[in-house]
């Protein structure tokens, strides 16, 4: 049975945190979808609050402490990322952004990503499309079409899988699992574009443009 390695990044600050609760639900749903497709899911959960000091020191020293270095290596080696942040000032948290700033962008290129966010009001759910999705688009990842936001009302409507949150979670997890089980060539492409097209030398691209020009 093939294994898919998933790194879960959660930036919740409380204990317990709603971001961790959502991250756990997304990871569990993705694991079920992968299992149904004949794959084994290996999940590693990273609580960024435990790395806050190491992340800050990395900015000052340019050096990742062993624990942070291990997490960064895990992110690089993962087949997919589940990223969940609480909403602060209409965006992802500063801790979440600080961690993403120390991640090597090249290690994320073409990687499957499932996005989630939590906040105190449904007004904050736009953070997924106006903050988190642009960030991961910039990093050239492949993002599951469905992102999941959870507000206070969602945690009071857990009814054995029939709640709106459960429905969104299952749909997002199914899309994420499909990305993880796609042929390797497709999984290695970024946002559906062929890497071969982007690797052509500039001179060759220029020659192609010139060759198609009519005077």
Residue range 68-84, pLDDT digits in tens: 999 999 999 999 999 99
Domains of the chain from N-terminus onward: 3-211 (3.40.50.360)
Q: What is the mean pLDDT of residues 86-106?
A: 95
pTM beyond 0.75: the answer is yes
Q: 92-129 burial, b for 16+ CB within 10 Å, e for fewer?
A: bbebbebbbebbeeeebbbbbbbbbbbbeeeebbebbe
Q: What is the pLDDT of residues 113-162, one digit of tens each?
A: 999 999 987 778 899 999 999 999 999 999 999 999 998 888 765 555 56
Q: What is the mean pLDDT of residues 104-116?
A: 97
Least confident piece of the model among 5-9, 107-111, 123-127, 206-210: 206-210
Q: What is the pLDDT of residue 192?
A: 42
pLDDT at 200 over 60: no
pLDDT at 19 over 90: yes
Mind giving me the DSSP string for 113-175? Answer: EEEEEE-SSGGGGGHIIIIIHHHHHHTT-EE-S--EEE-HHHHT---SS-SHHHHHHHHHHHH
Q: What is the mean pLDDT of residues 43-62?
A: 97
């Amino acid at each position: 049975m093939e294994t898919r390695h998933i790194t879960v990044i959660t930036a919740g600050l409380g204990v317990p945190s709603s971001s961790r609760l959502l991250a756990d639900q997304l990871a569990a749903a993705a694991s079920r979808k992968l299992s149904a497709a004949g794959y084994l899911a290996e999940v590693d959960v990273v609580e960024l609050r435990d790395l806050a000091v190491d992340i800050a020191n990395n900015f000052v020293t340019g050096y990742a402490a062993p624990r942070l270095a291990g997490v960064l290596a895990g992110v690089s080696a993962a087949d997919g990322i589940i990223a969940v942040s609480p909403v602060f000032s209409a965006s992802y948290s500063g801790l979440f952004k600080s961690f993403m700033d120390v991640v090597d962008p090249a290690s994320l290129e073409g990687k499957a990503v499932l996005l989630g966010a939590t906040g105190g009001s449904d007004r904050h759910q736009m953070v997924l499309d106006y903050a988190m999705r642009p960030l991961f688009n910039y990093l050239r990842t492949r993002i599951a079409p469905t992102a999941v936001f959870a507000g206070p009302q969602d945690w009071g409507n857990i009814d054995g899988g029939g709640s709106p949150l459960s429905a969104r979670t299952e749909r997002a997890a199914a899309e994420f699992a499909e990305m993880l089980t796609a042929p390797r060539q497709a999984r290695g492409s970024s946002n559906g574009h062929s890497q071969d097209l982007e690797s052509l030398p500039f001179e060759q691209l220029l020659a192609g443009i010139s060759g198609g020009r009519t005077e």
